[in-house]
Amino acid sequence: MKRSSDFTPTTTPSKIATWTLHGDVTPERKRGPPILLKASPTKQIQKRSAYSREFIKTYVFFDLECTGLIKNEDTRNLHARAFNKAEEHYNVLNNLCIETRKDELPYITEMSFMAISSEKFDELKAERQKDITWNIENPGSEKPLAKFIPTCTHTRQINPTMMSETEWNSYERFRLAGGKVAHNAIKYDLRVIYGELQRNEVLEEFGIPQDIYFIDSYWMAREIEDTIVKELATVCKYIKFPKVKIEEVDESERVVIDDSVEEIVQNDEPKETDHPANILDWEKFSASLKKRIRRDGFVRTGAGSWTYKHTNNKFSLPVLYEDLVGGKYTAHYAQQDTEALMHVCLSYGNDFTRYANNSASALPF
């Protein structure tokens, strides 16, 4: 039995349905208008505008498990592309879809989509912020954050027809061995989805609804935290921080009475320090940023002079989950990763919804 603080999925792998190839379409399903697609995903008869969205009505979180990575990525010079600007995400994704051949893209072996209305998400978001604040103020009596979330969930495990039983078993061993968990839709997931839609001629037959938009959760987290980091660095640049008296017990003030007892000897005067964290108004920080902005991120540059660096913070899904939600992250399936991503976004609270409403981009295919 797992501890309450551990991340536990709401479904087991045995309850994941298998994919049915060439299944009959139910009569109730309405097909979209045929769309002629050629080499470029932008060559649609009706192209969406990247700037016509309204506030988000429904959030759909998703994750994929695939047969491998995208081939020949080293030739595309990804590190030089401006992924960090939300207004450029549409163009970046479009160009990557055009540049990538179908035979360079892996096949999906498992996919999970979890949808939740924005109204319900906002309710859970407010509850989450209260719980995070409680946990910060009451160490040792923390409330579990990874509670069950009611969503409309669709999860499929797919066995690509080109994989033999031996290849599938090898893939399963590789996947269960664990590794880095990414959540980068532009560089990976959305391109893989585009490739699968092309292979199965779904775009030509059904098209994509006009009101579908995307954000990249990796760049969402970076944007939220980089914004405050830049502000902190600017404040540090133009302020000479005064020394503030604080009550603190130093290790040198501990006196050993015998082998098992220590007595703490307090100095007559409190210590003085000019550390910026002592004068910040932490109440103006969101609950999630209180957990991610670290005291050791402030670096002294001179007498009374400081700067802030965020280089020690990582943005992989396991790190974000353990920092913002808590508990050990041991996910191995697409639905587990999808649930974890939704919990991370809930913990970011208003910062997440503000980013989604301001930065969501239309799909270029």
Mode of pairing for the β-strands spanning 108-117 and 58-66? antiparallel
Residue 153 belongs to some domain of the structure: yes
Determine the Cα–Cα distance for residues 340 and 343; give it in Å rounded to an integer. 5
SS3 211: coil
**Rounded to an integer, what distance in angstroms lies between the CA atom of residue 81 and that of residue 76?**
9
pLDDT for position 272: 65
Is 62 contained in some domain?
yes
268 domain-assigned: no
Tell me what pLDDT residue 269 has: 57
For residue 87, being part of any structural domain is answered with yes
The answer to whether position 161 is within a domain reads: yes
Question: What are the mean pLDDT values of the chain's consecutive 10-residue runs (365 residues total)?
Answer: 44 39 41 41 42 74 91 84 79 93 92 96 95 90 91 88 74 64 87 92 86 93 90 88 65 44 50 81 87 87 85 84 90 91 96 92 89
Is the pTM of the predicted complex or chain greater than 0.85?
no
Q: What was the pLDDT predicted at 111?
A: 95
- Report d(CA 230, CA 308) in Å as an integer: 8
pLDDT of 125 reads 95
End-to-end CA distance of the chain: 45
Give the Cα separation of 340 and 352 in Å (integer): 15
Instruction: Provide the pLDDT for residue 178.
Output: 54
- 305 is a domain residue: no
Q: Is the dihedral of CA 146, 287, 125, 65 positive or negative?
A: negative
Rounded-to-integer distance, Cα 15 and Cα 336, Å: 13
Whether 273 maps to a domain, the answer reads: no
Q: Which domain holds residue 100?
A: 58-216+348-362
Please report whether residue 159 resides in a domain.
yes
Domains held by the chain: number: 1
Residue with structure tokens 């609804």? 209
Tokens representing residue 356 in the block = 């989604």
